[in-house]
A and B are shown apart, each in its own frame.
Chain A
Amino acid sequence: MIRLADVSDVSAMVEVYNQSIEDRVFANCDDLHGSSDAFTSLYFGNNNRYVVLVSESGINANVVGWAAIKRFSARSYDTSIAEVAVYIRRENRSAGTGIRLFRELIIQAEKCGFQSLVAIILGRNVQSLRGCKSCGFKEKVRMRAIANVYGEEEDIIWMQRMLT
């Protein structure tokens, strides 16, 4: 089940996020997050336009993934564009959870009046690139060797999807 997240979900979100760093799946070029404070501020410090969703599974309703829209880091002042983030618990990856979250996020973003969404993806993260493409995102920007991940230079790709 996908539902709107609240601050009580932050610890689970951080856990899922850190898994993606630990597993070296090229989810992003961040370091592990030790506390929930930065997450709370980043994802719940803005107004309600910036939606956070969680996907729950099982009788205990465990959080198996989350998705969020946040200010586009390259144009933080631009209220027409939002940046997307989707992270899936390691044992639930490649099971369609990410795509379902993505689709719901697009619906929510349209309701909130955004005109486009941008996904920022490491060039080597083929799975996320494919997932974004299947949700209507198109590659718009490729910055070659701009990031350094696990000691190697990596391309960063910006994919954009226009909303109706």
Chain B
Amino acid sequence: MTIDTLEQAFYTRKAGSADVVDIINKGVNGDLYELILKFQFISFNSFLAEINNPEKLYAFYVCRDRNDDLIGWACCFKFHERLGYSGSVQLVMDLYKPISALGWENYLYQSCEEECRRRGAHVIVSFVHSNMKQLMDWHHDNAFEACGNIDLVSADKMHVFSKRLPK
């Protein structure tokens, strides 16, 4: 079968328990869970429980191909505990397949953005390591504003992006 459209190739859905099991089994690229989420949540399942709380500013989506293989996930969670950041969320995307011409990662991201907007978020913040050139380009292409960068060890940088969401 020739795959011409996004819909033929992939689908995106809100993450559920089975997806979490798959993510854990598949392993999280770049130690994203170890490096980022574990400082926010005790476990992936506790993260999932929080995500499903409609009162909170969270979103968690997975993308699968037509063979039902998990090819990526994206989530947003509260950017910072302080009161003044209550409308801001942080985006984390983990893509198991390269960014493609079909733009499945956009589809995945849009699901997260729409969910966050419905829940009242007004800004999405994202941090990208300087060695992830393709992901940096993706942020530029998706109307994220480059806010600057922080120097890391060995001349690496952490780039900061933000995007205002329409009300």
A114-164 residues at the B interface, CB under 8 angstroms: 115-116, 118, 139-149, 154, 158, 160, 162
Q: In the complex, what distance in Å separates the CA atom of A149 from the CA atom of B83?
A: 9
Among the stretches B16-24, B59-67, B130-138, B158-166, the one at the interface with A is B158-166
**Pair A80/B145 contact, Cβ less than 8 Å:** no
Q: In the complex, what distance in Å separates the CA atom of A82 from the CA atom of B160?
A: 17
Interface centre among B39, B123, B150 (most CB of A within 10 A): B150
Among the stretches B68-76, B85-93, B108-116, the one at the interface with A is B85-93
A74 adjacent to chain B (CB < 8 Å): yes
A144 neighbours in B (Cβ, 8 Å): 145, 147, 162
Q: In the complex, what distance in Å separates the CA atom of A142 from the CA atom of B125?
A: 12
Q: In the complex, what distance in Å separates the CA atom of A144 from the CA atom of B152?
A: 22
A78 neighbours in B (Cβ, 8 Å): 152
A62 adjacent to chain B (CB < 8 Å): no
B35 adjacent to chain A (CB < 8 Å): yes
Interface centre among B34, B35, B80, B164 (most CB of A within 10 A): B80
If A146-B123, A147-B88, A148-B86 touch, does A81 touch B35 (CB 8 Å cutoff)? Answer: no
Q: Can you add 19 more A-B contacts, CB < 8 Å, to A30-B82, A73-B80, A141-B150?
A: A28-B82, A29-B84, A29-B85, A74-B160, A75-B127, A76-B39, A80-B153, A116-B150, A139-B148, A140-B151, A141-B147, A142-B148, A143-B147, A146-B162, A147-B84, A148-B87, A154-B84, A158-B150, A158-B160
